[in-house]
Amino acid sequence: MPASAFIAIAGNYLQALKKIKTLAKTQAAFSLIGFVSLTVLTYSFGFIGFVISTLFMSYIGVPILYRILKEYLKSGPIDKEIKKRSVIYAVWSFAANLEGTLSGYLDIFILNFVLLDRADLGYYGVAAVFLLALTQITQSLTEIAAPYLSEKSNDKKEFYRVLFKYEKILFIVSFILTLSTIFVLPFFISFVYGPSYSLSGTLFQILAIRFFLNSSFTLFGISVLAVGKMNYNFLSTALAVPINFAITYYFAVNYGAIGAAIGQVFAALVTLAFRFPISIYALKKHFNEISTNKQ
């Protein structure tokens, strides 16, 4: 956990500096080294090898990232107002991310308690793993957009230009990923894991729709973060978690693993209906405040 925290902070710092190529190169190198170590050590030593490789993957990046960031880290006095605002941002971001994490794993949590056939939980887990891989692709795009949005947070026209530029790219990428994987991945899963895993392919197809709904408009949440209105992200997530739980629980209890996946799609549709307006309102309020301060 300490290594993961440092790497996350270092990654965010490189984003803020707009050192996207440096970040991409280091992440690619870490991923390649990690994949090799994970494969070799797990194959050679089993579960213990997996644990060792996980620790190795976490800590190998720390000294490398520190050397990259060292030249940018200058000690000196920090403005009290900046320090105060940083604490406020951190508190709201932590709360919103905590809620987001709970919401992201609610389906697995619910299925663990309601499924009678434990094998179905495994099939659902396989589908979720492939879905996580797709999420990493779109998340990388939002990470690239974040510092550019933050940079333009005092210029309404430029901010919306950047926002809609990246939103268009994100929508197209999400659509292509969803459409292509819906047709290809079920065959891939059956080929790699065997015909008995056909349910994983079906579950993935349903969950891919949720991925499209969430990923296509996630940049609006990032834009709210970019202008420092994290409390609105907290509000929208606070509303989303109980709705997500109620809908997913109902479908899971009545229709099993397939029901949970369908429930996730309905929950994504419902929460999108208020997440989007809340984000627009937060952005509007931010630029109204800037306009008032200028006057």
pLDDT digits (tens, 9 = 90+) for 223-248: 888 888 888 888 888 888 999 999 99
Q: Among residues of the chain, what percentage have pLDDT more than 70?
A: 97
Q: Record the tokens describing residue 49, joined without a space.
A: 């090898």
What's the pLDDT score for residue 28?
A: 75
Instruction: Report the percent of the chain where pLDDT is more than 90.
Output: 25
Among 51, 76, 101, the domain boundary falls at: 76
Residue 295: the pLDDT is: 61
**What is the average pLDDT across 196-204?**
92
Same-domain check for residues 5 and 90: no
Are residue 179 and residue 145 in the same domain, yes or no?
yes
Q: Is pLDDT of 196 > 80? A: yes
More confident residue, 263 or 57: 263
pLDDT value at position 201?
92
Residue 258 has pLDDT above 90, yes or no: yes
Among the residue ranges 22-31, 159-168, 188-197, 256-265, the one predicted with the least confidence is: 22-31
Mean pLDDT check: name the lowest of 90-99, 197-206, 218-227, 271-280: 90-99
What mean pLDDT do residues 15-39 have? 77
* Top mean-pLDDT range of 20-24, 36-40, 223-227: 223-227
Enter the DSSP assignment of 154: T
Tell me which amino acid residue 189 is: I
Q: Which residues contact 32 (CB under 8 A, 6 or more apart)?
A: none
- Residue where one domain finishes, among candidates 18, 42, 76: 76
How many domains does one find in the chain?
2
One domain for residues 61 and 142: no
Q: Are residues 123 and 197 in the same domain?
A: yes
Q: Are the CB atoms for 72 and 10 separated by under 8 Å? A: no
Sequence-separated contacts (24+) of 222-225 with Cβ below 8 Å: 222/142, 222/145, 222/146, 222/149, 223/149, 223/159, 223/163, 223/279, 223/283, 224/279, 224/282, 224/283, 225/93, 225/146
Find, among 217, 236, 238, 218, the residue nearest to 282 by Cα: 236
71 and 198 within one domain: no
163 shares its domain with 205:
yes
| Domain range for 36 | 1-76
Task: Report whether pLDDT(76) > 80.
Answer: no
User: Has residue 156 got a pLDDT over 70?
Assistant: yes
pLDDT value of position 143? 77
- Predicted local distance difference test score (pLDDT) of residue 266: 95
Least confident of 18-22, 110-114, 213-217: 18-22
pLDDT of res. 52? 87
Which amino acid is residue 293, in one-letter code? N
Are 68 and 113 part of one and the same domain? no
CB atoms within 10 A of CB 50: 13
Highest mean pLDDT among 94-98, 192-196, 207-211: 207-211
pLDDT, mean over the chain: 85
Give dist(CA 7, CA 119) in Å, integer.
Answer: 35
Same domain, 69 and 109: no
Per-residue pLDDT at 249 = 94
Position 56 confidence tier, pLDDT thresholds 50, 70, 90? confident
Tell which of 76, 91, 118 closes a domain.
76
- Which pLDDT score is estimated for 253? 93
| pLDDT of 267 strictly over 80 | yes
Q: Residue 87 pLDDT > 70, yes or no? A: yes
Kindly state whether residues 249 and 132 are assigned to the same domain.
Answer: yes
Task: Between 82 and 5, name the one with better pLDDT.
Answer: 5
**pLDDT, mean of residues 82-89:** 80
